Amino acid sequence: MSTTFITRTLDVTTGSTETVADLTADCDAFLREAAHGGDGLLNLFVPHATAGIAILETGAGSDDDLLSALHDLLPADNRWQHRHGSPGHGRDHVLPALVPPHATLPVVAGRMALGTWQSVCLVDTNKDNPHREVRLSFLG
C-alpha cells in the first residue's frame, strides 16, 4: 500500500529553438526530497499540447539525432491543417503522439532505476512557447 504522494511543478525555459532539455538532475533533486530513500514511481507530465517526455542518451548526439528524426517525420512546412503560429507549427501539435507528454519511472532506494546512459528529457519543438511546466509526482 502506498503511503507517500508528493507532487511539484518544475518550470523550464526552452528558449526560441527546438530543444531536448535534460531533466535528470531536476528529477534526482526532487526524489531526494520526496522519496527519502524509498521505493516507488516517479511520474512526469507536461501539460502542453506541443511537448513531450523522452528517455534517451544525451550528450553523445542522440538528442540532436532525435530532433533530426522528428524533422524527417514531422517537417515544419505548410502541409498541416493546424496553421496558427510559426510556419509549420501544426507539426508541434502532432509531436505528443510520437513523444508522449508523460513518463513513469521506477524508483529504487530513492533513485530512478535508469540504465547507464539513459536521461529524462523534455522534448520541445515549439519555438513559439519558450516556457514549459513539468509536473513531477512521486508515489511511494
- What is the domain count for the chain? 1
CATH number at residue 80: 2.60.120.460
Instruction: Provide the 8-state DSSP code for 77.
Output: S
pLDDT tens-place values along the chain, 140 residues long: 568 999 999 999 998 899 999 999 999 999 999 999 999 999 999 999 999 999 999 989 999 999 999 999 999 898 988 888 888 889 999 999 999 999 999 999 999 999 999 999 999 999 889 999 999 999 99
For the chain, counts of helices (H) and of strands (E) = 3, 8
User: How high is the pLDDT of residue 2?
Assistant: 60
The enclosing H or E element of 31 equals helix 24-34
For position 24, what pLDDT does the model report?
98
pLDDT of residue 43: 98
All 3 cell numbers of residue 99?
Answer: 513523444
Give dist(CA 37, CA 44) in Å, integer: 19
Predicted TM-score (pTM) of this structure? 0.93
The confidence score (pLDDT) of residue 1 equals 55
Q: How far is CA 57 from the centre of its chain?
A: 13
Question: According to the model, what pLDDT value does residue 86 have?
Answer: 84
Q: Which domain, by its residues, includes 21?
A: 5-139
Using DSSP's 3-state secondary structure scheme, residue 34 falls into helix
